[in-house]
Amino acid sequence: MRQGREDAVIVESGVKMNETSGARLAQAFRKGLMGSAAESTSQAQSKTGEPAQTPRKMKMGWFWLLGLFSVSVISFINQPSQEEVAKETAAGFHCLSKWDGSHDEVVRLVKQNLRDPSSFELIQTRVTPVNSDRRHGLRMEYRARNGFGGMTVETATATYRNDNCSVVSWSPN
């Protein structure tokens, strides 16, 4: 086997290879390439005698890998603390939708009583702090189509449990 940089790379990696595959592997490492695409690139270079360029897919692969890593780090950093989760639970927000702030079960109950359930539009939801019975009060304003085809603003009130978010009582006011 030849002495030099190629042999050093082979010895450091702990893989036994012949002289030609070791030279190709060392060349791929020097260019910063890894994996099967690197082997095919270095083989293409040795057969044609022309310098091979880094495939565009590999460049995009590194870009997406870096993006995925960045998103995972950011999501890990933005995790709420235990104190924040406890405050959110005590306030009753854990039972509300993160998207629009509605309580899914109350929305379902209201839509069952509407003339045109597809016309339901949530305006806002307000929640009272937990009481001694471990329950929350809820007031939901919504817009819906009435019997004459016009849109009216209505209010529904409900009471729900803090531990399992189930609705105890409600009225369509």
What are the chain's domains? Answer: 5-77 (no CATH), 86-171 (3.10.450)
pLDDT tens column, 58-95: 667 777 788 888 877 777 777 777 888 778 887 888 88
Contact between residue 9 and residue 25 where contact means Cβ atoms under 8 Å apart: yes
Cα distances (Å, whole numbers) of residue 57 to 60, 67, 75: 5, 15, 27
Q: Is the pLDDT of residue 1 over 50?
A: no
Q: Does residue 11 or residue 32 have the better pLDDT?
A: 32
pLDDT tens column, 146-168: 989 999 999 999 999 998 999 99
Place 29 in a pLDDT band, splitting at 50, 70 and 90: low
**What is residue 30's predicted lDDT score, i.e. its pLDDT?**
64
pTM of the model: 0.53
Q: Helices H, strands E: what count in the chain?
A: 6, 4
